[in-house]
Amino acid sequence: MSSYDVVVIGSGPAGYVAAIRAAQLGLSVACIEKWRTADGRGINGGTCLNVGCIPSKALLDSSHRYHDTREELAVHGISTSAVKIDIAEMMARKDKIVGQLTGGIGQLFKANGVSGLFGTGKLLANRQVEYTDHDGKISVLDAAHVILATGSLPIDIPAAPVDDKLIVDSTGALEIASVPKRLGVIGAGVIGLELGSVWGRLGSDVVLLEALEDFLAIMDKAIARETKKIFTKQGLDIRLGARVVGTQIKGKKVHVTYQSKDGTEQVEIFDKLIVCVGRKPFIDGVLAPDSGVQLDERGTVAVNQQCETSVPGVYAVGDMVRGPMLAHKGSEEGVMVAERIAGHSAQINYDIVPNVIYTHPEVASVGLTEEQVKASGDAYNVGTFPFAASGRALAANDTDGMVKIIAHADSDRILGCHIVGPSAADLVQQVAIAMEFGSSAEDLGMTVFGHPTLSETVHEAALAVNGNAIHKANRKRK
């Protein structure tokens, strides 16, 4: 029986980061990954690198460049003709990026002394892990500590069973071989909007069917309204309160029946249908009946603030546990757990975890929404600034969106920041850093920002919190 200080099950962003950090801290580490390529070769990276964050961003970037070349260059005085998209080449580029990054994890394992194992891992009693390699050979690993990091998988719905041909999930949507003339997307959340944007830019007529009546319900409502307006202008047909009740394959078309918010049933016909209604923790086969690890009422692994499960010495991180399913949240949990195992007192500030939708423009947020602050009863101030008033955004012909900053009325401490606009993912991180250090809106407003930059929109929004914006008219205080 092989023995390790730490055995990690899963090598996605939470698992491989935990394994590397634990090894850096002098612990003996093995990391088990079940993922393998179509030809049977073991590959690290989990969902994020193989069929999630990375490949989707590659397609988002390629499709955005294609759309810009066709639709946006004329304003710069650049004329083009006969612009075409080679879907096979676009997919090959995506696969090359995935291969480069997933292969890099193996190199990092080797450099840090992590034993990378390909196959499946199951937690047994007494922190033992049953390891089955891809050839079916079973062995047992003895671990002083175990980190569960098996991630998540798409949720299926009975009304739209995936056949991986005409009806696909978010994984299948990354492998569509040609541009569908008419594309249906069930779910107008993060994944649905990103995938809908990819194929919409490439020429599909995209309809998003969202069961909820609120668009991006978890986001600040002002930003959600602005985002919907922008996406609608781009051509995405977003239908709210549209609950899909059935699908039928007729010939090479998908007939989708949905109930609209007024209770009537309607039918839409699509060339392809993508099901993006959320994700659920991947737990099947990971926990033996006598492992002792408990699940919570939502079906996620129950953990404390330090990600320790009901079994001492067994931890769970990333999509398996409470909180948003975000790769960066899982990575930081992996680091925290590795450091705590090594005797350090690491922790995560869960109040400051950025959330991003990688459409164009991007949508990003950190901290509390205005609705959450209002519900708390605390007095607050809001500052906003439009990208239309940014010299840098105007020069780039990229002026849709706005920055919104919320601060406590008495302390002026920044409580949240919400952005829809160009480079929102990078801009919101500036505010996240400020919030981590307890900055006030005045602190951010007194900071010198380079000119001309998109980040000046953050500066002006911070100034606007207290009625001091320079490049827009300030609201009169009551």
Instruction: Read off the pLDDT of residues 124-173 as tens digits, 9 standing for 90 and up.
Output: 999 999 999 999 999 999 999 999 999 999 999 999 999 999 999 999 99
* Cβ–Cβ < 8 Å for 351, 367: yes
pLDDT per residue as tens digits for the range 62-82: 999 999 999 999 999 999 988
State the pLDDT confidence band at 478, using cuts at 50, 70 and 90. low
DSSP helix/strand/coil, 40: coil
pLDDT for the residue numbered 27: 98
H-helix segments, 28-171: 46-51, 53-71, 87-112
In DSSP terms, which residues pair with 268 in a beta bridge? 256
Average pLDDT, the chain: 97
Half-sphere exposure of 179 (CA within 13 A, CB side): 18
* DSSP assignment string, 184-232: EEE--SHHHHHHHHHHHHTT-EEEEEESSSSTTTTS-HHHHHHHHHHHH
Strands of the sheet containing 253-259, edge to edge, are 243-250, 253-259, 265-270
DSSP helix/strand/coil, 171: coil
Query: Which 8-state DSSP code applies to residue 21?
Result: H
Given a cut of 90, whether residue 38 has pLDDT beyond it is no
Instruction: Report how far residue 177's alpha carbon sits from residue 299's, in angstroms, rounded to the nearest whole number.
Output: 35
Percent of the chain at pLDDT > 90 equals 97
State the pLDDT confidence band at 477, using cuts at 50, 70 and 90. low
Closest CA to 349 of 375, 369, 370, 367: 367
State yes or no: cis peptide before 361, omega within 30 of 0. yes
Instruction: Report how far residue 154's alpha carbon sits from residue 170's, in angstroms, rounded to the nearest whole number.
Output: 7
Mean pLDDT of 454-478: 93
* DSSP assignment string, 362-375: EEEEEE--HHHHHH
In DSSP terms, which residues pair with 266 in a beta bridge? 258
Q: Which two tokens stand for residue 18?
A: 């935990």
Its pTM stands at: 0.96
pLDDT for the residue numbered 372: 98
Given a cut of 80, whether residue 53 has pLDDT beyond it is yes
Element (H, E) at 138: strand 138-148
Rounded to a whole number of angstroms, the distance between the first and last alpha carbons of the chain is 72
Instruction: Report how far residue 420's alpha carbon sits from residue 427's, in angstroms, rounded to the nearest whole number.
Output: 10
Sketch out the chain's domains with CATH numbers: 2-152+280-341 (3.50.50.60), 167-277 (3.50.50.60), 355-465 (3.30.390.30)
Mean pLDDT of 398-423: 98
Annotation marks residue 451 as catalytic: yes
Q: What distances in angstroms separate CA 17 from CA 131, 345, 361, 381, 421, one per listed residue? A: 20, 18, 30, 39, 30
Token pair 């086969």 is found at 285
* Cβ–Cβ < 8 Å for 366, 379: no
Candidates 255, 344, 451, 471; catalytic one = 451
pLDDT for the residue numbered 457: 98
DSSP helix/strand/coil, 174: helix
pLDDT for the residue numbered 205: 98
